[in-house]
A = this chain, B = another copy of it.
Amino acid sequence: MNKKSPIWIYDTTLRDGSQGEGISLSLDDKLKIARKLDRMGIPFIEGGWPGANPKDVQFFWKLQEEPLQNSEVVAFCSTRRPNVAAAKDKMLQAILAAGTRWVTIFGKSWDLHVSETLKTSLEENLAMIRDTIEYLQSQGRKVIYDAEHWFDGYKRNSEYALMTLKTALDAGAEWLVFCDTNGGTLPHEISQIVAETIAAIPELKTRDTSKIGIHTHDDAGTAVANAIAAVMSGASMVQGTINGYGERCGNANLCTLIPNLQLKLGYQCLGQEELSQLSPSSRLISEIVNLAPNDHAPFVGRSAFAHKAGVHVSAVTKNPLTYEHIQPELIGNQRRIVISDQSGLSNVLHYAAKFGINLSKQDVTCRQILDKLKTLENEGYQFEAAEASFELLMRSILKPNKQLFHLQGFQVHCNIHQEIDNLGSKALATIKVEVDGKKILEVAEGNGPVAALDSALRKALVEFYPEIADFHLADYKVRILDGGAGTAAKTRVLVESGNGVERWTTIGVSANILDASYQAVVEGMEYGLLLQATSQKKASIIN
């Protein structure tokens, strides 16, 4: 395939993506996602609209304190309000305060929106575009201009739409981005309108590099095809979100677009190494957003290279090309043969190698691990996001360890007296464990039952395992399996623990949320101790 010009990926998960129904990102979530995108080498990350909400203001401050390594973080804003000088517009002051090198300004291309939404004149709208861009430039900013409703505007009044675009270009915008804001445009219209626009504005062709972008939504189910159509007609920036998050039906899914552009059409988007991290990155971000990953997502979904038993399986085993459109490894995904021991075993071997465990297909234990894995997965365990638990499981089958301690029982007690105590609700946990033949009874309190249980367990164990004092709970996630069963449904808890250097995730499943939490918390401690032991062993070998 020919090497074509690079495509600049512009991620708007943190701004447009967060408009998706069901998504509510904390400041901490936003920072985690930004750092992940930075590691993926995404050139532009739209961080938010600093004037519109306080969380976004804080987000940009945090990035001023500790900047990203690879990506440009971009602040987003509308053009100035009608009949107000740009320098007096509070939103524009807020975007400057965000302290980014790049800013994205969206303006109206569609005359209907100017009169009905902005309630101003067509001339004033042009002035708003010009003033805003010129003012931000005068303050040392590089401007990306998002032409909102480009395609609808062009279809209704192409003459005026072109005037808005030329205004933005003349005012000094570095990039002009065609936005299909309502998401209803089809690919052949995108191709045609992008080509016509480029033909109508001669300056667009004479610039050093094409600086045209595309921003699409999935309301017609064609967001990805639309972005591709625009790229094939001359766009070289693609805006989208991870996993296609976004308002209504979502934005163009970058996890689909990037492999299409890079692997099928030969445009350079990400480094090869970064591309091979696409599937785990997609899943990590769905964990942060706390939405179940879409198993059927193109390229990165868990089922994207899954083959059900039968004709496909035997063919794909003989020659993957027969039923696979690309190699799953290129984007960090893997082939899965559903209901087939063959693939199960290779999974086990794959993880054994990863954990540094010596295991071969012929070992009886390999089959034992697979059987146990299948039983647990049937009960609702899912180890993809809880590798630490899977490693513990594998090690316990290979060499049944002496247990850290023996649980004799725990009680959790929550007491909510609305009348008496208005300060908050308290929980109390009592735990009885046996360690090295000694019986320990401990009690602790917390804001909620899980915090109390975690505290009690630490108090009971720290005398025997002082390292536990260094461990902390970094994250705690709950998902109800089979929600239809109401409060009697099974609960899956993921606990992320850390020791200041490393982080690991463990899992618990039970009809009782406290029991599930207990399992995950205990495995978190066990794994932390295992890590400590391994690094001490390594250190003693080196010294």
Contacts and interface: CB of A to CB of B under 8 A. Distances in A.
Interface of A: 19-22, 24, 26, 28-29, 52-53, 78, 112-113, 116-117, 181-188, 218-222, 224-226, 228-229, 232, 244, 247-250, 253, 256-257, 260, 264-265, 290, 295-299, 301, 303-312, 314-315, 318-319, 321-326, 338, 340-342, 382, 384-385, 407-420, 424-427, 446-451, 453-454, 472-484, 486-489, 491, 496, 510-515, 517-518, 521
A296 B326 contact: no
Given A221-B260, A425-B512, 8 more contacts: A29-B483, A117-B314, A182-B323, A247-B307, A290-B480, A407-B416, A412-B413, A478-B479
Nearest to A518: B416
Nearest to A472: B486
12 contacts: A24-B481, A26-B484, A221-B260, A244-B296, A247-B312, A248-B304, A412-B413, A414-B512, A425-B514, A451-B487, A474-B486, A476-B486
Most buried by B among A113, A408, A489: A489
A186 B260 contact: yes
B484 A475 contact: yes
Nearest to A481: B26
CB-CB nearest 10 A-B residue pairs: A184-B325, A473-B486, A225-B225, A221-B256, A409-B417, A448-B512, A447-B511, A221-B298, A450-B487, A451-B487
A248 B479 CA distance: 21
Contacts of A484: 26, 28, 474-475
Contacts of A491: 448, 478
B256 A220 contact: yes
Copies in the complex: 2
A454 B53 contact: no
Contacts of A117: 311, 314-315, 318, 322
A511 to B, nearest CB: 4
B411 A407 contact: no
Given A247-B309, A309-B19, A221 B224 contact: yes
B384 A248 contact: no
A476 B220 CA distance: 32
Contacts of A301: 249
Nearest to A302: B21
Nearest to A340: B24
A450 B513 contact: yes
Nearest to A432: B417
Contacts of A413: 411-413
Contacts of A229: 187-188
A53 B340 CA distance: 12
